[in-house]
Amino acid sequence: MGKHRNYLLLIIISAVVLAWVMLIANQKLNSGSYNALDLGIYTQVAWNSAHGNLFGFSIHPHSYLGDHLEFSFLLAVPFFKALPSPLTLIFLQALAICIGGFLLYKFAKRYLAENLALLWASIFLLNPLTLNALVFEFHALLLAVPFVFLSAIAYQNKNFKLFCFWMLLILLTREDLSLIVAGFALLALLEKHSPKWWLLPGIISAAWFLGATYITGQINGEGYKFLGYFNPGSSEVGLTSSMFSNLLKIFRPQNLAVLLSLLLPVLALPILKWRWLALIIFPFLGISIAGYGAGDIILQTHYVMFFLPGIFLAAVLGWQKLWITPPKFIQNLGEHARPLMLIIFISVSVYSLLTFGPTLSAVKTNKKISIADTTKAQYAANLAENTPSSQTVIAGYNTLVPFASRPQIYSFHYAFLGKRQYSNRPYPLSNDLNLIVIDSAEFITLQAQYAEREDRKVEYQSGYKRIGDLLVANKLKLAGIEDSLLIFSKEGNSNFQLYQVENAKTLDSGKPIQIKIPGAINLDETGYVEIPVAGQITKTTIDNYQLELKWFDNKNQNLETRILPLGYGLKPTSDWQTNEIITTNFRIIPPQKAAYAKIRSIIPKGAIVLNGWRAAEIVLDKNIESQSDELQLVLNKN
């Protein structure tokens, strides 16, 4: 009865995890918050594969196998074909992790009482890092988690043939998962198993990694592009730093912080079975010596799944050792020792879940989603649904996912830069573009990403002209506008003027830019306001000034802060002349309780971080210098 009860409880916990992940996923999709490219990429690969073009995609100019060798991703294709939605991929990813929870339970039952095994499986599923990986985006990497646990079970059962079979599936899921297979080889060596247990996995993992990286390099024509991680200051592919200097990066503080963040939620128990940490040593070394090193990007994204299976396998064995032969200071607690251990472990797990995972922070993020966000996302979704898949589209970070189910789609940021990922080679586009769907706020994101980045500064400065030339060359005209979302098509006939240019006398002095706005505006019956912002620069500049708009209620509480691109990014201030006044005609949706706004011009500077939904957003630096006077605008509601 206890056994069936535990399985039932694990099913319930898995259902809760699935429901929570899908709830967040639906909210992200309906607010345009899947903005890290990955779900859009996998959606296009799944769509093309389901239509006979295996691993075909156009977001990068080669087969997806030129990015990663992820043959196991084909397991997801029949499900996507039956239900062609990005959410299908998210569900399959979460299901794979839940299956992993059941397999961890099976592994743990060999060493612990069934209730303790259930506890460990539950903690794995409810671990904040597990949930981070699930709500971030989709990655085939997570499909390997069941294979890792099955390999561990076969290893402990001394079933070599089955062990090799699961190792093979790990390798087929992604080429760099060979680092985990190499970890199993090292584990077998440390535990002094017969040579076949460590020699064969060691040779196969090394051969597969070298062979797979060579194959991907041949497919994309530039070499294994992700070696560029070791030198992010350069867009050239390859290892340009000495191996010695790379090894010194292991000792950077952020790498130690990540290691502690992985170990402390499980009470550092893996250290008691340190040999099993062999499963994470190679991924950890690889990430530690990468140019950016470890950090939040590891703990908040799919990368954490290189570590969590090994951490939890070692933690289960460490708990067994602590439970059976506790140290003297625990023995002195007598009969209270084990209950106290459980209380501490559960308390730490609950605290971690609420503070480091997408739980309370996800609720907070949900409250920050604006009417404008959901309106733009719904408009993009409806447009995508009514745009034939035969049409060629350029879409931005926020709009790539809904448009990804088609043979030809391109990413706006690559088109803007004119360069491929991690490369100085040109980004090829179709000669016949039908549609560009871009949230003009993306120009702010691009400014935060690339304006000060040495290896992309030139491409950023020329990006605005590149987009303008692209519109002209493809005869694309404004077809629609929804808040800051712009749609350009060959049939575009919108009468809305994004901006106007008029001649004016030059300004003798003053702040870098002078802006003028109406003293008051009216909210129309559709919930929009029109704000014409006239701007004039005092001297020509390569900087791009943007508009900071802060909405306040009647109690002077800041409701929302938006950064809007002057000239909608199509007429940036770096292209303005001193004898011109450029009026940008914003038509946007204010918050429901907005009473007035404060407006000024700034040069946006800040960092791109992951919010409570693990979606990318810009956090501006504090005390950003104003480039204009601050003006106030009253909102009249009829």
The pLDDT tens digits for 522-568 are: 999 999 999 999 999 999 999 999 999 999 999 999 999 999 999 99
Alpha carbons 571 and 536: distance in angstroms, whole number = 13
User: 34-45: b or e for each residue (b if 16 or more CB lie within 10 Å)?
Assistant: bbbbbbbbbbbb
pLDDT at 240 over 50: no
Cα 172 to the center of its chain, rounded Å: 23
Alpha helices in 61-158 (DSSP H): 77-82, 86-109, 114-125, 128-136, 145-156
Q: Is 371-489's fold the same as 499-637's?
A: no
- For residue 505 the two structure tokens come to 């006398």
pLDDT band at 232 (very low <50, low <70, confident <90, very high): very low
**Tokens 């062609």, located at residue:** 84
Alpha carbons 104 and 266: distance in angstroms, whole number = 15
**Tokens 């043939």, located at residue:** 161
Name the CATH architecture for the domain at 499-637.
Sandwich (2.60)
Alpha carbons 514 and 535: distance in angstroms, whole number = 6
pLDDT at 470 over 70: yes
- For residue 154 the two structure tokens come to 């076969």
- Full strand arrangement of the beta sheet holding 596-602: 520-523, 631-637, 596-602, 546-552, 558-565
Q: Per-residue pLDDT averaged across 35-53, rounded?
A: 97
Q: Hey, is 518 helix, strand or coil? A: coil
pLDDT of residue 291: 57
Of 345 and 279, more confident: 279
Residue 336 burial (C-beta neighbours within 10 Å; 0-12, 13-18, 19+):
exposed
What residue ranges do the domains of the chain occupy? Answer: 2-33+68-364, 371-489, 499-637
Backbone angle region of 588, left / alpha / beta, with phi > 0 → left and psi within -120 to 50 → alpha: beta
Q: Hey, is 452 helix, strand or coil? A: coil
Q: Per-residue pLDDT averaged across 361-368, rounded?
A: 95
- For residue 535 the two structure tokens come to 């701007």
Alpha carbons 388 and 176: distance in angstroms, whole number = 37
CA 231, 234, 235, 240 torsion-angle sign: negative
* C-beta separation of 76 from 83 below 8 A: no
Alpha carbons 627 and 170: distance in angstroms, whole number = 54
Alpha carbons 117 and 570: distance in angstroms, whole number = 59
Select from 326, 346, 369 the least CA-distant residue to 612.
Answer: 369
Angle subtended at Cα 232 by Cα 227 and Cα 238, rounded to the nearest 5 degrees: 30
Cα 451 to the center of its chain, rounded Å: 21
Select from 379, 445, 563 the least CA-distant residue to 36.
Answer: 445
pLDDT of residue 241: 46
User: What pTM does this model have?
Assistant: 0.94
Residue 480: count other Cβ atoms within 10 Å of its Cβ: 16
AA letter at 85: S
Domain 371-489 bears CATH identifier 2.60.40: no
**pLDDT digits 0-9 by tens, 272-294:** 999 999 999 999 988 887 755 55
Q: Are strands 606-610 and 558-565 parallel, antiparallel or unpaired?
A: unpaired
Least confident window among 163-167, 241-245, 361-365, 441-445: 241-245
500 φ, ψ to 5°? -130, 145
The total number of residues shown for the chain amounts to 638
Alpha carbons 565 and 442: distance in angstroms, whole number = 9
**pLDDT digits 0-9 by tens, 202-213:** 999 999 999 999
Residue 106 burial (C-beta neighbours within 10 Å; 0-12, 13-18, 19+):
middle
Q: Per-residue pLDDT averaged across 501-510, rounded?
A: 87
